Amino acid sequence: MPMQPVAHANPWVAVHPEDDIALLARKVSAAHQAFVDSADAAGVRAVVLDSWLRSRSNGVDPDRRIGVSVLGGVELERYRSAHPMALILPVIRKLLVEDAADTGLLVAISDAHGRLLWVEGDSSAKDRALDMNFAEGVDWSEDTAGTNAPGTALALDHSVQIFGAEHFSRAVHDWSCSAAPVHDPTSGRILGAIDITGGPRVAVPEVLQLIKATVVAAESELRFHLLNAPHVLGENVPRLKLLGTTHPVLIRDGERIALPRRHAEILLMLSEHPEGLSADQLAILLDEGELDGVTIRAELSRLRRVFGATGLASRPYRLTDELLTDVGDVRSALDRGDVAFAMQVYTGPVLPGSDAPGVGRVRDELRARVQAALLRAGDAALLARWTSTVDGREDSAAWTAYLSTIDRGSPLYAQVKARIELIDRQYRN
């Protein structure tokens, strides 16, 4: 049987005033089952059918857990605090979130890639939404999660509602949602989406109108910010992750780009030497005598394709665009005396798999600074965490400082003292 989508006066609205919600839910559920079984989808809106076809083409499994966690912890906090959508968060909270408590409704804010930056509202609904992986830091783009209001709104650059089984994934069939994209008021590019998720009544026209009105207010707020700071909606500064990993990552515009170790080493050396380095100087920092200038120039040519040609200058080689690193984050935290945050960011040595001399110096310097700050602070919890890490497990000075924070009558005191004696014997031998 050929696929025949249902036509409505307003195809973006899921539930119309004349609809019987229970009957509509049964019809949509049957249509979804027919599509999954035989690609027949008579009885659904064209916007939904087209999205189902894209979802299937992208390999989304309607029976598999959806959504991929792509941002979390400190990384999520940094990314969303620097994101333009953070500028309109107060407006969204005022217009949508404040009235969502005890209503069963959630308000979600995504970036332009469909990654959820904030999920707020009714606490019990937020807990239930975890069952479908609807949470901060998770990718809910249509490509990854299938048909859903925020993801489909971004895919189509249009406000849209998705009702119950119109979602491609069965895990979301108990939910309905309304969403609309938010645009840069100057360039028109999509910055993200605003979404309301809840029960079937979320898919009525009034909720879509509320979302659209909120977007108008949000874009007006962005226009105000632009008048006062013209570059406030600029792209996020690239960030390099080097600590505790043999798989360095460059994060640019929210995209995670896996880097070869040599490229990460080069970027670190250039960030450490803002004045620039010649090819020969880079060669020495990367591999004492084993590399030559020709090889370095070839590596930099390849690196430009990833980092961007405008971000790297030559004669001497130097960074022309700002590059943030987790190494710099630790240093900044230590400079302002925030040892706890420094420890949170310091997840391990700098590029532990690298034997480049320049990297080794940065690694040793940063480790020494962290250790010295911990010893000065004398915080028992931070010392306990440090002594459980690769850097700290053989650190006799840290273990001794930790011992001084423990009650002599505690069983832990004897354990820590024994550990110190073991380390001392190992180093004497």
Q: What DSSP line would sit under 338-382, residue for residue?
A: -HHHHHHH--SSBSTT---HHHHHHHHHHHHHHHHHHHHH--HHH
Query: Mean pLDDT over all residues of the chain?
Result: 88
203 and 246 in a single domain? The answer is: no
Whole-model pTM? 0.58
- Predicted confidence at residue 427, as pLDDT, reads 78
Residue 195 near residue 219, CB atoms below 8 Å? no
Q: Note whether residue 310 is domain-resident.
A: yes
Query: Considering the domain boundaries, does residue 128 fall inside one?
Result: yes
Return the percent helix, strand and coil in the chain, to nearest 5: 50, 15, 35
Q: How confident is the model at residue 79 (pLDDT cuts 50, 70, 90)?
A: confident
Maximum separation of any 2 CA atoms in the chain, in Å: 85
Alpha helices in 70-165 (DSSP H): 73-82, 89-92, 123-129, 142-145, 149-156
**244 occurs within a structural domain:** yes
Whole-angstrom Cα Rg for the chain: 27
Residue 411 parent element (H or E): helix 411-428
CATH code at position 180: 3.30.450.40
User: Residue type for 49, please?
Assistant: L
Domain span including residue 141:
21-228
Averaged pLDDT for residues 408-424:
92
What is the pairing mode between strands 190-198 and 176-183?
antiparallel
Whether 9 maps to a domain, the answer reads no
- Do the Cβ atoms of 316 and 277 come closer than 8 Å? yes
Q: Per the domain annotation, does 59 fall within a domain? A: yes
Examine the pLDDT at 153 and tell me if it is beyond 90.
Answer: yes
Indicate the range of 25-34, 66-75, 346-355, 398-407 predicted with least confidence.
66-75
Q: What is the pLDDT of residue 322?
A: 81
Coil, strand or helix: which one is 383?
Answer: helix
The whole-number average pLDDT for the span 22-36 is 93
pLDDT for 2: 47
**What's the domain count of the chain?**
3
If asked whether residues 371 and 384 sit together in one domain, one would say no
* 281 C-beta neighbours (distance < 10 Å), count: 17
Residue that is last in its domain, among 377, 395, 417 = 377
Express as a percent the part of the chain with pLDDT over 70.
94
Q: Are 244 and 330 in contact (CB under 8 A)?
A: no
Question: Residue 178 forms beta bridges with which residues?
Answer: 161, 196
Which pLDDT score is estimated for 1? 42
Q: Got the DSSP string for 125-141?
A: HHHHHGGGT--TTEE--
**Predicted pLDDT at 18:** 87
Same domain, 206 and 68: yes
